[in-house]
Every structure is written in structure tokens, then in C-alpha cells.
Structure 1
Amino acid sequence: MDPSTVLPLLVLAAVLVAGSAGVDRALATRDGEGLFWVGFSAFLGVLLTAAWALAATSAASAAVGAVVVAGSIAASLWVGRRDRRRRRNRERQQLKAAVNATAARHREVLARWSAYELDPWLAAENPQLLDVRTPETRTFIRALKVAEQLRPEAGTAAEAAAYAEAVTTLEDSLRRAEAAADGGQAA
């Protein structure tokens, strides 16, 4: 290969690598405008560098074409794989945050309920809340079991949604049980 062709080919490879890294960085920061300008600049850089390599010698046209095609394919595969991995990680983090928020609501309901079980004064004031023969209390206990069974460890989005729905039902059933107990307080 002609030495005058080697420098343009090396610059072409460097432009492909730098363009790929810039596109990857713009995708990572979710910067749409930056993605456009980096992609556009990388495209122009590859185009101009390939034209320079072809102008240096006509014998290098096959090598230039091979570098452009192979480099573009490799860059596309690399950027795509990294972007998919980032998306999966972002989805996992969002799912984990949603489950943690739901679990916090669940713990709050359990703390409210535990107060009735552990505080003798509250138990004496609200005897219906501890009597499973009361329909509202029975409904609460069932909702409590369902929420406990649906608590996901890692889980999927569907499991997290089912858990969130169960905790919402649990919160509603405790509110109804408390409202029903207010009408039947001990004297």
C-alpha cells in the first residue's frame, strides 16, 4: 500500500472511532440535539476523510471503501449494543424505584395496623379493627395476605404493577376498616 494512503486511512479510522464515541456519549446523556450534531459531524468527517484518501491515490479506493463500510458497521453495532444495555439498566432502576416506593407504602400500612395490635389503648378504643368477624377487618386481612404474597424480590414490570395494585387495595381496605370502627368505638 502506498505510504501516502496510510495516513488518510488512519485518520478515517480515527474519525469513525471518535464519531462512535461521540454518538454513544450523546445517547448516554439523552441529548437529542447533541446526537444530531455529533452524528452529522462524524458523517462529514468520514465523507471528507474518505474523499481525501481517494484523492491521494486511486489505488486505495477498495481499501477506503472497506474501511468505511467495515468501520461504519462496527461502530453501529458497538453503539447499538451499549445503548440497549443502558436502556435495560435504566428500566431496571425505574422498576426497582417503583417497587421500593410501593414497599414503603406497604410498610406504612403495616405500621398503622401494628399500632392497633400493639397499643392496648388503641385496641380498647377500636375493638372492631381486631375482630376478624367484622367484614371490613376480614377484607383488610385478606388484602394484607395478597400484598405480602405479591411483594416482588426482583420481578418484572407486571409483578410490580400487581404488587402496587395490591398495596392500593390494602390501603383502601384499612381506611374502610378504620372508618367502620369509628362508628363502633368502645365507650
Structure 2
Amino acid sequence: MAEAGFSMVLPLLLLVSVLAAAAAGIDRMLRTRDGEGLFWTGLTAFLAVLLTAAWAVTATSAGSAAVGMVVVAGGIAASFWTLRRDRRRRRNRETRQVEAAVTAAATRHREVLARWSAYELDPWLAAEHPQLLDVRTPETRTFIRALKAAEQLRPDGVTAAQAAAYAEAVTTLEDSLRRAEEAAGGGRAA
């Protein structure tokens, strides 16, 4: 009886090892986003599990039910583990993309503020382009409204919708400053 138990342990341990290695290989292929490698890794893993299970069943006829349960449970566990890790990887990738979009929009926002500050802080530029400081000018009024909108939409948390709204507001801000500079008869501030 002990002999039968021991002869069943080795095939089951090998089967569990093959399942774990298969899940790790598939996870690595998902991480690298290599479709062909994923196919071949999955096929190899399937065949390895199938052959190991067949060997375990033939090695221990009494343990065929246990081998079948290990194959099913291990396959399900490996699938859930791989799917969860892939979902987390996708979520992290999306978060990084949204953060990059917010960072790019914030950089453009700072550049616009620097250009505008030059008109406010440089007396020579202010004297050359007084319309840019006069909110009665429609283009300047539009710029000030766009400036307030961009400041209000600057995201604290990062969601895709907030990032898109902020990027759009910064684009509007850039366009309104360009139009205000053109209406004032000047180019960009140095």
C-alpha cells in the first residue's frame, strides 16, 4: 500500500511541476507580447501536461482519478493565475500611457504659461503688445477663459477621460494664445 502511494507521488509531483512551468512560460510570452512564442509555448505546455498525465495514469492505475483531478485543478489554477497577471499588466500599461499623456499636456501647459508670463513680466513686450494684457480684446478674453479651463481640468487623479479633457483644454489654450498674439500684431514671446 505504501509502495502504491509512493509510486503515485512522483508522477503527481512531476505533473504539478509541468503545470507550473507551463503557466510561467505562457505568462512570460504574454508579458513580451510575442504571439508566435505564445502559440508554441502553449502547444508545448499542453503536450507536456498531456504526456505527463498519460504517464502518471499508466504508472499508477489506482491513482488515475487523482491524476485527472490534478490535471483539471492545475489547469484551472494556471489559467486563472495567467489571466489575472495579464489583466494587471494591461491595467499598468494603460495607466502608464495615461500618465504619459498628462505629463505631455502639463509640459505644453507650462510652455504656454511661460510665453504668457513673458508678456506680463517684460515691460518692453507689454508696451509693444498692450492688447495681450487687455481683457476687453476678444482674443485675450478667450485666452483667459481657456487658461482658467485648463487650470480647472488639470487632473489630480489619473483617468483616461480626465487626461483627454486636460489635453484638449491645453490644445485650446495654445490655439487661443496663438490667436491673441496674431491679433496683437506680434509673434511669439521670446
Report how far residue 155 of structure 1 moved. Answer: 2.6
1:117 to 116, 120, 131: 120
Q: Which residue identity does 1:13 align to in structure 2?
A: V
Partner of 2:184, secondary structure, is: helix
Q: If the length of structure 1 is used for normalisation, what is the TM-score?
A: 0.95
Of 5-14 and 103-112, deviating more is 5-14
Q: CA deviation at 1:63?
A: 0.6
Match of 1:17 in 2: 20
Aligned length: 183
Structure 1 residue 73: Cα displacement: 0.7
Per the alignment, in what secondary structure is the counterpart of residue 133 of structure 1? coil
Q: How far, CA to CA, are the matches of 1:136 and 1:61 in structure 2?
A: 81
**Percent identity between the two aligned chains:** 78
Unaligned runs of 5+ in 2: none
- Give the alignment partner of residue 80 of structure 1, picking from 72, 83, 91: 83
Residues 125-166 of structure 1, C-alpha deviations (whole Å, 9 max, x = no match) = 111000111000000000000000000022311111111111
How far off is 1:67 after superposition? Answer: 0.3
Report how far residue 167 of structure 1 moved. Answer: 0.6
Query: What's the TM-score, normalizing by structure 2?
Result: 0.93
Q: Structure 1 residue 147 and structure 2 residue 154: aligned?
A: no
Return 5+ residue gaps in structure 1 as ranges.
none
Deviation at 1:2, TM superposition (A): 3.3
- Note the alpha carbon deviations across 1:55-114, whole angstroms, 9 max, x for none: 112211101100000100111111111111111111111100000000001111001000
Distance, in Å, in 2 between the alignment partners of 1:82 and 1:2 is 35
Letter of the aligned partner of 2:157 in structure 1? Answer: A
2:40 is equivalent to residue 37 of structure 1: yes
- Distance in 1, matches of 2:122 and 2:40, equals 64
Aligned residues of 1:150 and 1:162 also touching (Cα < 8 A): yes
Quick check: 30-39 or 99-108, which moved more?
30-39
Distance 1:155 1:91 in 2: 11
CA distance in 1, matches of 2:153, 2:35: 39
* One-letter identity of the residue aligned with 1:51: A
Q: Distance in 2 between matches of 1:64 and 1:71?
A: 10
- Asked if 2 retains the 8 angstrom alpha-carbon contact of 1:102 and 1:167, the reply is yes
Shift of 1:4: 2.3
More deviation, 76-85/129-138? 76-85
The answer to whether the 8 A contact 1:12-1:49 is kept is yes
1:127 corresponds to which residue? 130
RMSD: 1.1
